[in-house]
Amino acid sequence: MSEIVKTEAIVLSKMNYGDSSSIALLFTEDLGKISVIVKGARSPKSMYGKIVDPLNYLSVVLYKKESRELQLLTGADIIEHYPAMKNDLNKLGYAYAVAELVKNLLADHEVSKRIYKGIIKILSILNSGEEKPEITFGRFFMFLLKETGYEIQIVSCAICGKKKFEDDPHYNFEKGLICGECRKSVVDNYDINLELLRYLNCLKNNESAGTFSNLIARKAINFMETHLKYHVPDFKGISSLKIFN
């Protein structure tokens, strides 16, 4: 069965294919993550070669066939291409990190309207520069972990249930947050301090985090990466952040 489908999409990545075409990985509103071929994309006369570019927000038309994994793109229009974000290497690195996480954590054809809207929102905030890009990315990372079933448990001690901490807590990637008193009963703890815990809670609750240092924001990202590595053995970290930052 084949059909013509019109939907919105974020371009996650693109690679050359054959002599003149490209294959793009899209995260679409209605079909989830799919791969499409853009025929003749690398020709100077191509209508869509430059439009279907990583991190562009598009309206696309696809010729979709159930029997094939690679769908044919037959139309594309730009909704937003985030020029301010793409002209800032720091912001661009975090934007590529967003795309990388989506590529790694979502299965092909898995539809999530919440994640789709979250990507568009985060790219818009990165483009506008209304807060530090590392904070914006941290919010998305925290959100995506929850939406994909890898939520970080930082509300209370996983052993005794305590919610207020007088000394630095610890984290066990299997159980969750561990208070200082319960630490001795749990092995393999990751040390986090009270400032990092407060920052993580700001991300989790979508509260203002502008008073925290860049160091804490980066530590939070490293912590979430370590958490994800524990739960997803094939995940080796976010390479985009190593390239751009």
For 230, how many CA atoms within 13 A lie in the half-sphere containing its CB? 19
What the block records as the tokens of 17 is 């294919």
Set out the domains of the chain in order of their start, with CATH numbers.
2-80 (2.40.50.140), 83-157+161-244 (1.20.1440.120)
Which residues, given as ranges, of the chain have pLDDT below 50?
none
- Give one word for 109, left, alpha or beta, with left for phi > 0 and alpha for psi -120 to 50: left
Beta bridge partners of 78: 58
Q: What is the pLDDT of residue 2?
A: 84
Secondary structure of residue 244 in the 3-state scheme: helix
Secondary structure of residue 91 in the 3-state scheme: helix
Q: What is the pLDDT of residue 225?
A: 96
Q: What is the pLDDT of residue 180?
A: 83
What's the order of all strands across the beta sheet hosting 190-191? 176-178, 170-172, 190-191
Q: What angle do CA 148, 103, 152 make, to 5 degrees?
A: 30
Is residue 203 within 8 Å of residue 122, measured between CB atoms?
no
Is residue 96 within 8 Å of residue 71, measured between CB atoms?
no
Element of type H or E holding 151: none
Cα→Cα distances 47→38, 67, 99, 101, 188, Å = 10, 27, 24, 29, 55
pLDDT tens-digit map of 101-111: 999 999 999 99
Sorted by sequence, the CB contacts under 8 Å of residue 245 that are 6+ apart come out as 90, 93, 94
Q: What is the pLDDT of residue 48?
A: 86
Q: What is the pLDDT of residue 69?
A: 87
Q: What is the pLDDT of residue 245?
A: 63
